[in-house]
Amino acid sequence: MASTQAQILVASNRGPISYTLDEKGTLKAKRGGGGLVSGLSAIGPEAGALWVCSALGDGDREAVRRGVGEEGVRMLDIPADVHEDAYNGIANSVLWFVSHMLYQTPLEPAFDAEFRRQWASFETYNRAFADALAEEAAQGAAVLVQDYHLTLVPRMLRELRPDLRIGHFSHTPWAPPEYFRMLPDDIAAQLLGGILGADRAAFLTQRWADAFTDCCHAVLGPGIPSGTRIGVHGLGADADFLRKRSHEADVNERIVALREQIGAGRKAIVRVDRTELSKNIVRGLLAYRQLLEDQPSWRERVVHVALAYPSRQDLAVYRDYMAEVQRLADEINSQYGTPGWTPVVLHLKDDFARSLAAYRLADVALVNPIRDGMNLVAKEVPVVSDEGCALVLSREAGAYEELGEDAIVVNPYDVSGTARALHEALSMPLDERAERTKRLAGAATALPPAQWFLDQLRALDA
């Protein structure tokens, strides 16, 4: 069964590389970033690592078909309709919504026949990963399974290969039992049981780990079996990479362009997110509008720079959300704007260099998610900031556990409270701001990605 010799395997839906196909039929590779990529690079290719991921678009599928690929990466060409059901249907529309508590009653959710059909695809998709991992792993290898897309993999893999050491990592929050149990009982049990097939189930914060344990007790009765350990690894920002990257020429150019849009002498409230319901961008805009209303002295003296990049645009609810962000930004601009002042500067096109530029010049960073596994923006801003930045932070972000003391903390639903927090942040004396930023940067970089990854491997051995 074990045909190759991978000693360390990572499995995730989205892999470290993706391919696009141009009009001439040429494939172009694009490398991704993120904690796992820098974590894996820390152990080096000689360690015999293999990353198993899905082919996500036409380019990826064509690459698999032509046998184009990169050493250390295996892309699974799961049939497009199965992937669609598993990724957009179950993972993004159900599991993401449950873990971030995003459903809007009375219309949603409805776990009906369509859901059951998609669930069967989710099982097929998880089975494809388990089979590939079982085939590639050397005797006794370590397998690190990532995220809610692959919840069923640890149990399936354990049955195929009892010799393996299996870890599962959740990058999202975990819902409390009262919310989690809106899932049909058999599905809830299958999800928990899937993760409990691992030797170790790890989370970004103690809060999410506790919620998982509570769900196991509520749904499964006996709770966590003795064979599964629970762990917490709070992924931090990659200071070395960020400090270097944020001073490259393209970032400097973006700073000039942004400063021009903001206008001389004005303060900038910055936010950087995927345009994601859980990020709470709309309430952020409402809070900003309330600030302009309640504190007219800030008019003409502040600009809200909102970088809201497209995400999961196959889903109507995400497209609608993006349209609402755009509409509200326009409304605020026509309501308050003057010939020399645009109150909201909104950018909807993904641009990492622009994100870093915004981090560097921000006076205030607004990070107000409804719920968030960690939120790395909150950790990256203080590391990159040129002159210190006040952080307005939701208490529902995982990062709150580490950054709460030096941030201005908000309840993400409280628009008036967030408006007051923005006023307080804008009014913070510059020396206090710089002091806090220094402490925030220290806390934010406590566990850099490479260390985060190695800690998980070590913990699996223990």
Residue 318 or residue 336: which is nearer to ligand G6P going by CB? 318
Residue 10 or residue 303: which is nearer to ligand G6P going by CB? 10
Position 459, amino acid: A
Residue corresponding to tokens 């609608």: 320
Displacement of CA 53 from its chain's centroid (Å): 17
Map 240-273 to HEC letters.
HHHHHHCCCHHHHHHHHHHHHHHCCCCEEEEEEE
Structure-token pair, residue 237:
């920002």
Residue 443: φ, ψ to 5°: -65, -35
Residue 14 or residue 420: which is nearer to ligand G6P going by CB? 14
| Of positions 61, 74, 158, 171, contacts ligand G6P by CB under 6 A | 171
Q: Is 14 near ligand G6P (CB under 6 A)? A: yes
* CB-based closest residue to ligand G6P: 171
- By rule CB under 6 A, what string of x and - marks binding of each residue 291-320 to ligand G6P? --------------------xx--------
136, 161 Cβ separation under 8 angstroms: no
d(Cα 342, Cα 333) in Å, to the nearest integer? 6
How many CA atoms, within 13 angstroms, populate the side-chain half-sphere of residue 123?
A: 8
Residue 278 or residue 437: which is nearer to ligand G6P going by CB? 278
Residue 210 or residue 350: which is nearer to ligand G6P going by CB? 350
**Residue 285 burial by Cβ neighbours in a 10 Å radius (0-12, 13-18, 19+):** buried
* Minimum distance, C-beta of residue 91 to ligand G6P, in the bound complex (Å): 8
* Minimum distance, C-beta of residue 426 to ligand G6P, in the bound complex (Å): 29
Residue 74 or residue 312: which is nearer to ligand G6P going by CB? 312
Residue 171 or residue 289: which is nearer to ligand G6P going by CB? 171
| Of positions 136, 147, 199, 363, contacts ligand G6P by CB under 6 A | 147
d(Cα 32, Cα 38) in Å, to the nearest integer? 10
- By rule CB under 6 A, what string of x and - marks binding of each residue 94-133 to ligand G6P? ----------------------------------------
Total residue length of the chain: 462
* Minimum distance, C-beta of residue 15 to ligand G6P, in the bound complex (Å): 10
* Minimum distance, C-beta of residue 345 to ligand G6P, in the bound complex (Å): 24
Among 381, 380, 369, 371, CA closest to 418: 369
Determine the size of the site formed for ligand G6P (CB under 6 A).
Answer: 7
d(Cα 178, Cα 174) in Å, to the nearest integer? 12
* Minimum distance, C-beta of residue 376 to ligand G6P, in the bound complex (Å): 9
Residue 54 or residue 290: which is nearer to ligand G6P going by CB? 54
- By rule CB under 6 A, what string of x and - marks binding of each residue 59-98 to ligand G6P? ----------------------------------------
| Of positions 99, 126, 172, 280, contacts ligand G6P by CB under 6 A | 172
* Minimum distance, C-beta of residue 172 to ligand G6P, in the bound complex (Å): 5
Distance separating the N- and C-terminal Cα atoms of the chain: 26
How many CA atoms, within 13 angstroms, populate the side-chain half-sphere of residue 365?
A: 37
| Of positions 15, 373, 448, 449, contacts ligand G6P by CB under 6 A | 373
292, 336 Cβ separation under 8 angstroms: yes
d(Cα 72, Cα 37) in Å, to the nearest integer? 12
Residue corresponding to tokens 């036409």: 58
Residue 119 or residue 174: which is nearer to ligand G6P going by CB? 174
d(Cα 275, Cα 311) in Å, to the nearest integer? 6
Q: Is 388 near ligand G6P (CB under 6 A)? A: no
Residue 284 or residue 373: which is nearer to ligand G6P going by CB? 373
d(Cα 351, Cα 354) in Å, to the nearest integer? 5
* Minimum distance, C-beta of residue 374 to ligand G6P, in the bound complex (Å): 7
What residues line the site for ligand G6P (CB under 6 A)? 14, 147, 171-172, 311-312, 373
